[in-house]
Amino acid sequence: MSEDFNDNKTIQAQSSETISGGGAGVTPDTDYVRPAEVADQDLYHGHSFITKWVFCQDAKVIGVQYFLLATFTGIIGLILSWLMRLQLGFPGAAGFMTAEHYYQFVTMHGMIMVVYFLTALFLGGFGNYLIPLMTGARDMVFPYVNMVSFWMFFIAVGVLLASFFVPGGPTGSGWTLYPPQAILEGTPGSGMGIILMCVSLILFVAGFTMGGLNYLITVLQARTRGMTLMRMPLTVWGIFTATVLAMLAFPALLVSAIMMSLDRILGTSFFMPTILKAGEMLEYGGGSPILFQHLFWFFGHPEVYIVALPAFGIISDLISVHSRKNIFGYRMMVWAIVVIGALSFFVWAHHMYVSGMHPWFGFFFATTTLIIAVPTALKVYNWILTLWRGNIRMNTVMLWCLGFIVTFVNGGITGIFLGNVIVDVPLSDTYFVVAHFHMVMGIAPLMVIMGAVYHWFPLVAGRMLSEKLGKLHFWFTFLGAYSIYFPMHYLGFIGVPRRYFEMYDSPYVTSAVGVNEFISTAAFLVGAAQFILIYNIVVSLRIGKPAGKNPWKANSLEWLTPTVPPEHGNWGDKQPVVHRWPYDYSVPGAKEDFIPQTTPPSEVVDTEVEKT
């Protein structure tokens, strides 16, 4: 914009053309950044254990709380997946496992991992911790609401887990909770289980809305001086866009959860058609099960990107820092995030090809689905071009980044298979689908989370994690995850259906049995390998190498706080002033290979910094 208006003195002095004379362009105005628009934030400082660590209003503590609770829930999801794999690989090995239990575990595993683990961890965990720090804000804009958000999430998790202990157990209708079977007798957990699931989701959405408003307004209205939109780290862009998606997609989940519970409790027929059960007409009649599918997937597809977009953003920053290069095509990356987010609202019915639909309808949704591949592929190219001729540091964080790219490309390509109606119809409800979504929205975001943990742990704890254990953890997880999900593509091609408790004497048995045993063994190992990380964290908290300030030599603001780990209020007396984007790595002519965002232009006049 500066070409059009020529009004920003900072940008002029920064541009390499004007300052190539060697400092001649420096005037008292060179480092000018206009004053703050908004008065310094009024913060409530906790002064007791309860207000400092339990009902705390500091976004960083709330972020850690979200992280820990989401991880705890995730471990329950992991244990459920072990039990499922035990049954699939070695039928009957777990004596207590009935078909009902299996379906309950499938359901709870899916719902926990997608909503209560990944969404809560990326937006609640990383969002809370990183947004204020990366934008230079003192805290989230509504700290009290933010605190309530976490405790709503806490109650939602409590209600969800309570369903394990009610008569009939948790719902076993699959994580999609499709009616009519979700609330009909015969489906496990059709009594209290499904009601608690709906209540828990409603609470989650309410709590998330409180947090989401905080993330959005902090990014929109509370950035520090000099932090323009195009100087924000991609992490912030990813979390911000994902939050927008969540604010617009969760309403559909809320509405479907309300209508489903009314169908179950009051006997309304929103989703329930006329049903004949065991020769007896049920009270229900005239509702539309397909309506539920539309509502659910109008939430469900953006949900995929609610998980993926923060992962995209975080991985961009990690790759840039650890290959000491500016992110390739920053503006392209920003617009790709925004475009993917917008498109994600127009693809939901590709989850419903087998529900039966007008061919033109399927055609429309196949087209929009494939269009998403364009900005997504663009991002992958840009990650690779960022690595290209970079000064790559092959540390644990970088390993997770590379693992992510490989896994994501793999899962993305199978997505193109499934986005086409005629390919999807035979592959639907086979293990190919399971392999696809676990690769693309299970393992790939998980790799990002792991990379992010190794990257930001020094900031949160002030100590480094062990690299040795980190690499061990990575190789086990990466190779193990491939051993699990790669063979599943094959199982899908030979037609092994998903969601089956046991294959019994079906013709698939001969070729699928060995593969299933192999997959299960790998699953046990990968799951166990995650405890390396927990061990690493626990040990490093006490005896890890002190991190000091800015151990990765990164540019973005979270590493530039006066104290490490940052205190409440983040910035001490004065908020930082930003002069550049966070990607000035390996700038020709600069003394060091990184120029932090707060470095004023007068200090880098002899370098060829980007104009940002």
Residues that bind other proteins (CB under 8 A): 1, 4-5, 7, 33-38, 42, 44, 141-142, 144-145, 209, 212-213, 216-217, 220-231, 247-248, 250-252, 254-256, 258-259, 262, 266-270, 283, 285-288, 291, 295, 298, 578
Closer to other proteins by Cβ: residue 263 or 584? 263
133, 587, 127, 119: which is closest to 320 by C-alpha? 587
To other proteins, the closest distance from the beta carbon of 65 in angstroms equals 19
Closer to other proteins by Cβ: residue 335 or 501? 335
SS (H, E, C) 182-243: HHCCCCCCCCHHHHHHHHHHHHHHHHHHHHHHHHHHHHHHCCCCCCCHHHCCHHHHHHHHHH
Dist CA 590 CA 596 (whole Å): 12
To other proteins, the closest distance from the beta carbon of 231 in angstroms equals 8
- Decide if 30 contacts 600 (C-beta within 8 A): yes
Closer to other proteins by Cβ: residue 192 or 252? 252
Closer to other proteins by Cβ: residue 216 or 448? 216
Which amino acid is residue 352, in one-letter code? M
To other proteins, the closest distance from the beta carbon of 557 in angstroms equals 13
Dist CA 331 CA 320 (whole Å): 14
Dist CA 420 CA 372 (whole Å): 13
Closer to other proteins by Cβ: residue 185 or 592? 185
Other beta carbons within 10 angstroms of residue 167's beta carbon come to 8
To other proteins, the closest distance from the beta carbon of 395 in angstroms equals 33
What does DSSP assign to residue 465?
P
SS (H, E, C) 132-164: HHHHCCCCCCCHHHHHHHHHHHHHHHHHHHHHH
To other proteins, the closest distance from the beta carbon of 313 in angstroms equals 17
Other beta carbons within 10 angstroms of residue 531's beta carbon come to 12
- Give the distance from CA 9 to its chain's centroid: 38
> DSSP secondary structure string, 368-400?
HHHHHHHHHHHHHHHHHHHHTT-----SHHHHH
To other proteins, the closest distance from the beta carbon of 267 in angstroms equals 4
- The backbone torsions φ and ψ at residue 184, rounded to the nearest 5 degrees and listed phi first, read -95, 145
Closer to other proteins by Cβ: residue 115 or 334? 334
Other beta carbons within 10 angstroms of residue 201's beta carbon come to 26
- Decide if 143 contacts 263 (C-beta within 8 A): no
To other proteins, the closest distance from the beta carbon of 360 in angstroms equals 19
To other proteins, the closest distance from the beta carbon of 270 in angstroms equals 6
Instruction: Tokens for 299, please give them.
Output: 């939430």
Closer to other proteins by Cβ: residue 280 or 283? 283
Residue carrying structure tokens 């290209």: 388
> DSSP secondary structure string, 317-336?
HHHHHHTTSPPTTHHHHHHH
Q: At what angle do helices 192-221 and 143-162 cross, to 10 degrees?
A: 160
Closer to other proteins by Cβ: residue 14 or 530? 14
To other proteins, the closest distance from the beta carbon of 210 in angstroms equals 9
To other proteins, the closest distance from the beta carbon of 394 in angstroms equals 36
To other proteins, the closest distance from the beta carbon of 161 in angstroms equals 26
To other proteins, the closest distance from the beta carbon of 376 in angstroms equals 24
| Cα first-last separation, the chain | 10
Coarse DSSP helix, strand, coil percentages of the chain, rounded to the nearest 5 percent: 65, 0, 35
- Give the distance from CA 257 to its chain's centroid: 22
Closer to other proteins by Cβ: residue 229 or 528? 229
Dist CA 417 CA 435 (whole Å): 12
To other proteins, the closest distance from the beta carbon of 286 in angstroms equals 5
Dist CA 603 CA 363 (whole Å): 57
Closer to other proteins by Cβ: residue 50 or 220? 220
Closer to other proteins by Cβ: residue 179 or 188? 179
Closer to other proteins by Cβ: residue 213 or 304? 213
Closer to other proteins by Cβ: residue 82 or 284? 284
Longest distance between any two alpha carbons in the chain, whole Å:
92
